[in-house]
């Protein structure tokens, strides 16, 4: 991501997980596809990051890319570490995958200045009743497919919210 305060976008969304190679780049890819399908390119910016920088510069996990590709999503993101000095101010929404991600992000916001923009991605699921998005990294390929399914559901809820915010009079 180019670190600039380019405010041409009406909304800016960041997905965060631990390593930024499984869940958050998948959510990024899914939401980007939904944005494209709805003709909202240039209005909503999407990125992802990890709470650790261990995988910085790497492509998403091959198993996640396979699961995503089979559902029509192209994951091209390169892993990066969450940057509190930039990300808190730049993004309108910072969606986390699980409680550890939430704890890691809010650690950098000890004065609770940005708490209103730090949201659980699972709260936007329309069909699944999830408390968190499980990390598939140490699981089987089936766990990656399940995470894609959960994130598709959550991104449907997120895109609905974003559309209402940026096009409140539009009855899509």
State the catalytic residues: 17, 23, 135
Q: How far apart are CA 55 and CA 62, in angstroms?
A: 13
Tell me how far apart the alpha carbons of residues 170 and 164 are, in angstroms, rounded to a whole number. 8
The closest of 113, 155, 129, 118 to 16, measured between CA atoms, is 118
Q: Is 112 left (phi over 0), alpha (psi -120 to 50) or beta?
A: left
Q: How far apart are CA 108 and CA 106, in angstroms?
A: 5
DSSP state of 131: S
39: tokens are 């003709």
| CA–CA dist 151, 160 (Å, integer) | 14
């Amino acid at each position: 991501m180019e670190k600039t305060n380019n405010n041409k976008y009406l909304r800016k969304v960041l997905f965060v997980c631990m390593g930024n190679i499984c869940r958050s780049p998948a959510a990024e890819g899914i939401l980007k596809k939904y944005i494209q399908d709805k003709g909202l390119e240039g209005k909503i910016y999407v990125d992802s990051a990890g709470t650790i920088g261990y995988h910085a510069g790497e492509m998403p996990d091959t198993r996640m890319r396979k699961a995503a590709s089979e559902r029509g999503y192209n994951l091209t993101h390169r892993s990066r570490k969450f940057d509190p000095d930039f990300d808190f101010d730049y993004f309108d929404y910072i969606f986390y995958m699980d409680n550890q991600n939430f704890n890691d992000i809010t650690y950098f916001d000890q004065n609770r200045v940005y708490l209103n923009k730090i949201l659980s991605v699972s709260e936007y699921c329309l069909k699944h009743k999830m408390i968190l998005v499980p990390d598939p990294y140490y699981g089987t390929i089936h766990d990656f497919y399940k995470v894609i399914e959960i994130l598709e559901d959550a991104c449907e809820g997120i895109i609905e919210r974003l559309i209402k915010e940026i096009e409140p009079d539009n009855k899509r």
